[in-house]
Structure 1
Amino acid sequence: MGLGIIGWIVIGIVAGWLAEKVMGRSHGLITNLIVGVIGALLGGFIASNLLGIDVGGFNIVTLLVAFLGACLLLFLVGLVKRRT
């Protein structure tokens, strides 16, 4: 069973908020949502294509993959910002 739009929003907000706290950033709710959803896509791509982990549904694995993807995204954005 896949996630509906509400599920993606919830996972995105939680993953973005957790990544914000771990990475020492300060964003708003909408930015957390965007970072979380993009992080979920990034993490899901890495997990499924490079690691062979099946990610889907509303569970802790999905949240963990989204969180790790959001942290990676914030890390990469931080690298780009330092160079400019």
Structure 2
Amino acid sequence: MLIIGLILFGMLIGAGAQLVLGREGGSVDWTMAIVAGLVGSFVGGLLISLLAGDGIELRASGIIGSLVGALIVTALWRWLAGRSKAA
């Protein structure tokens, strides 16, 4: 159940990142949402939680760090996809 919960949390965070950055084509890209959410949550959430001194517990700092990490991963993904289309 924990793994399913982590995947759903990652999807929500990834979809939120796409909503903040603006959706391309008017819909959420769920593949990007899962990947950006999971990678962003792991990197951003873990890093911010540890820097804030919260440890590995679910706190607001970890959720904010997860969203920031997902925003960075989503923006990087879109930038790389735009470069490959232009070439």
TM norm structure 2: 0.66
Mapped pair 1:73 → 2:67: no
Contact 1:15 1:36 in 2 (8 A): yes
- Residue matched to 2:16: 18
Residues in 1 aligned to 2:49 and 2:13: alpha-carbon distance in whole angstroms: 18
Mind listing any 5+ residue stretches in structure 1 that lack a counterpart? none
Larger radius of gyration: 2
Worse-superposed segment, 5-14 or 15-24:
5-14
Give 1:69 shift.
0.4
Mapped pair 1:31 → 2:29: no
Contact 2:49 2:59 in 1 (8 A): no
Moved runs in structure 1, 4+ residues, more than 4 A? Answer: none
- Residue matched to 1:62: 62
Give 1:15 shift.
0.7
Q: How many residue pairs are counted as aligned between the two chains? A: 79
Contact 1:43 1:66 in 2 (8 A): yes
Q: What's the Cα RMSD here?
A: 2.5
TM norm structure 1: 0.68
Percent sequence identity is 27
Q: Which amino acid aligns with 1:64?
A: I
